[in-house]
Amino acid sequence: MAVTRPPERSAEAVELIEGAGGRALVAPTLELKEAHTESLREVCRRADEWDLVIFTSQAAVESLFQLCREFAGKIRKDCLVAVIGPRTARVAGEHGLRVDIVPEDYTAEGLLDALTGLNIEGWKVALPRTLSARKVLPRGLEMMGAEVLVAEAYRSGLPEDTGPAEELIDGLLDGKVDAVTFTSPLTVENLFKIAGNRRKELIEVLKRVKVAAIGPITLRKLEEHGITAVTPERYTVKDMIAALAVSMGEDVD
């Protein structure tokens, strides 16, 4: 089973796959780099102004605290902190933040739904993230009347070393890979970019092997290319691997 996440985010998936008796192939198609931009510095400088801070990834939390280690102590006590899912909540908690909002649906749409019970008109909202993310969340917040600062906290791009991803493509085309997991639309798009002139052939192979998508947004990107995928009810790596294992006739504890 192939894991296309960045290496520093792959340990859980590898452990689960190997625990189920499979062999994990770490082939990152995405690389995350901290970006200590002026907009992120502004989030730090204005820490005591925010009514709401939203984190949609672990990387955003880590990058902000790398730049502004005392951020948790600088925000107001009545400032709300919202995160996209339990793993991001755990990382935020490790940095001293009290997490107030975790949506049931771990997507931008889920976050917006979780905020609908609040009147956030006029609120100042900090949203540190990658600029390659979808615009659904900031646009939705602005439609609710919030003043939103989207701050570039990290950059998502192709890995500097595409060798492992190229080996994955070789393995897929040679029939040596049984399944592939994707955790974001970018992990899908970047694999196709790395494939180059083998893209069409790769897509046809992915239509035949087992594919897992962590959630509906990643699934949608795969479906744009006619690729079907297993998707868990809860959008976590553990649930994705479990759903994939079940579809392959294995069990994951």
How many Cα atoms within 13 Å fall on the side-chain side of residue 248? 24
How confident is the model at residue 20, as a pLDDT?
Answer: 83
**What are the pLDDT tens digits along the chain (253 aa)?**
999 999 888 999 999 999 888 899 999 999 999 899 999 999 999 999 999 999 999 999 999 999 999 999 999 999 999 999 999 999 999 999 999 999 999 999 999 999 999 999 999 999 999 998 999 999 999 999 999 999 999 999 999 999 999 999 999 999 999 999 999 999 999 999 999 999 999 999 999 999 999 999 999 999 999 999 999 999 999 999 999 999 988 544 4
Rounded to 10 degrees, what is the CA torsion of 189, 85, 94, 154? 30
List the structure tokens of 230.
Answer: 């297993």
Q: Of 165, 209, 228, give the one whose Cα is nearest residue 30.
A: 165
Domains of the chain: 33-156 (3.40.50.10090)
